[in-house]
Amino acid sequence: MFEQENPQKSITATLLERMDSNPGFAGLGSSIKIISSLGEDNDGDPREITAAILRDAALTARLLRVSNSSRNARGGRNISTIDQALVILGLNTVKSIALSLALLNSLSNSPQSKQLHAEIVAAYFCGSLAYEITRLNAPRFSAQEAQVCGLMQNIGRMMAVYYLYDEIESSRTLQAASNLTEDDAVLRTLGVSFAAMGASIAEHWCLPDVLQNSLAPAMDKAPPRVAANAATWHQLCASFCRQVTDVLFRLPENREKIEIAQHVEFLRLPLNLKSDDVREWIDKCLADTDALLNEMSFPCNVEQARALLRKASERVLDILSDGDSLTKKSNSVGGRTPVEVIQHVLRLIHAKCNFDRTLICLTDAASGLTAIAGVGKTATQVAGKFRCSGSKPDIFRAIVARKADVFIADVDQPVYAKLIPPWYPEVVAAKSFMFMPLMCGDKVLGAIYGDFAEQHASAPVGVVDASMAEWREQLVEALQAGATKPL
């Protein structure tokens, strides 16, 4: 962590200074203020709204394109004016597209552009969900204001990724080394949360009060029973939508149902929420977001965004008990338990090779093979069911017997398909995978499994790097240290 007396003030001040000094971002704060104020008074004067849009050529072109898409076109009409586009799309969609473009134009030229594109997708979904909840459950409040509040919820995260790149990379190193959540690693490294950064940015830009209030990171331990005014509603609604967005875009899929249920229950009374309704709204907003992104020719869709952001937030999960030899401190390697070393290295391999899922498996005396830890898509469920045993041969034990790394580009090829275990298509369903035995001399201690949901023609380049060889040696050392009997 930074050694300043007040790390929160220091790192936030650094962020704001870098934002102010970067010409490419200088106008975003004012753009957001202009966009968020469009149509505030009785939906505004259409002439003023049209004039504001026409001042931005990129926004004008994008709105006309979306208006003429097959989803929005009516009776084959050709939409050629912004007045017509406003009628077809509605002001809330216009404002959402405008904000998305403002963010995209400001952030997309950075080395982190792919992650930032994914963040914008998450932000757009968050705004859409806030709009839907407000429109249906609190029509007395402005659904358009709710949408803008939702869109801005991860502005702190985006700005940190853009302007504090080295600091965020340090947090990721800590995240892998200590098997932390992304938020915990950022808080330990920078001394301030993404939410607090967002609130400071909103204040620095002098954004409308409703936006500043919705970005306030603090919330009482128990929410009010009723959202008595617009300010309270927008804060609670935006907070709920941010939490749901984080669940959908950052947490493992197996945690979605229970996490969303908890957030629904916490804000059930003030937001008048019902679980079935929320699930329906989520599905609708995900589909609507994807459709609009496609019409905008946006460089990232919902599925891609969720996969990328989940990968950035993943922790290595193990299924070992406290009594397992790999978890005992008495078997430490360099001051860490064997499983801590395994978790750290597995995370590094996962990121290096860009696998969708990475597991470590152990062999046993009965020629079986069992996954003990994993990271990536549905790693928890898969690791718990990745078991090779019995007399019937399978592809994984065949590779172990060869004692050589093997990449399978297409698991459905007949020569491989006949050796794929019967549980694999249902539990894993990957199309390509890499299997790498971990050797100690001539003995196989275990293996690294990495897969891809879609077919890959060749193995990832990272598997032949010097760093990979070093990591495999570390895994072998950890497995040897944790072995209480021959494996």
Domain 7-37+90-312 architecture: Orthogonal Bundle (1.10)
Estimate to the nearest angstrom the gap between the alpha carbon of 390 and the chain centroid.
Answer: 39
DSSP string, 188-251: HHHSS-HHHHHHHHHHHTT--HHHHHHT-----SS--SS--SHHHHHHHHHHHHHHHHHHHHHS
End-to-end CA distance of the chain: 40
Query: Which residue type, as a one-letter code, is found at position 147?
Result: Q
Q: Please, which pLDDT band fits residue 411 given cuts at 50, 70 and 90?
A: very high
> Over 50: is that where the pLDDT of 180 sits?
yes
Per the prediction, the chain carries an average pLDDT of 82
Residues of the chain with CATH 3.30.450.40: 316-482
Measured between alpha carbons, how far is residue 271 from residues 134, 215, 229, 230, 331 in Å? 9, 17, 12, 12, 51
Q: What is the CA radius of gyration of the chain?
A: 25
Residues of the chain with CATH 1.10.3210.10: 7-37+90-312
Helix (H) or strand (E) holding 388: strand 387-388
Domain spanning 316-482: CATH superfamily: GAF domain (3.30.450.40)
Query: Which residue type, as a one-letter code, is found at position 307?
Result: A
Distance CA 433, CA 408 (A): 5
Q: Please, which pLDDT band fits residue 42 given cuts at 50, 70 and 90?
A: very low
Q: Please, which pLDDT band fits residue 54 given cuts at 50, 70 and 90?
A: low
In this predicted structure, what is the pLDDT of residue 80?
A: 60
Please count the other Cβ atoms lying within 10 Å of the Cβ belonging to residue 464: 10
Length of the chain: 487
Distance CA 333, CA 335 (A): 5
Q: What are phi and psi of 39, to 5 degrees?
A: 75, 20
Q: Are 123 and 246 in contact (CB under 8 A)?
A: no
Going by C-beta distance under 8 Å and a sequence separation of 6 or more, which residues neighbour residue 315?
175, 179, 180, 181, 347, 375
Going by the DSSP 8-state scheme, the letter that residue 339 receives in this structure is H
Going by the DSSP 8-state scheme, the letter that residue 440 receives in this structure is E
388: burial class by Cβ within 10 Å (0-12, 13-18, 19+)? buried
Which of 139-143, 153-157, 334-338, 406-410 has the highest mean predicted lDDT (pLDDT)?
A: 406-410
Which of 100-109, 148-157, 262-271, 294-303 has the highest mean predicted lDDT (pLDDT)?
A: 262-271
pTM score > 0.85 for this model?
no
Distance CA 99, CA 107 (A): 12
Structure tokens at 168: 């965020």
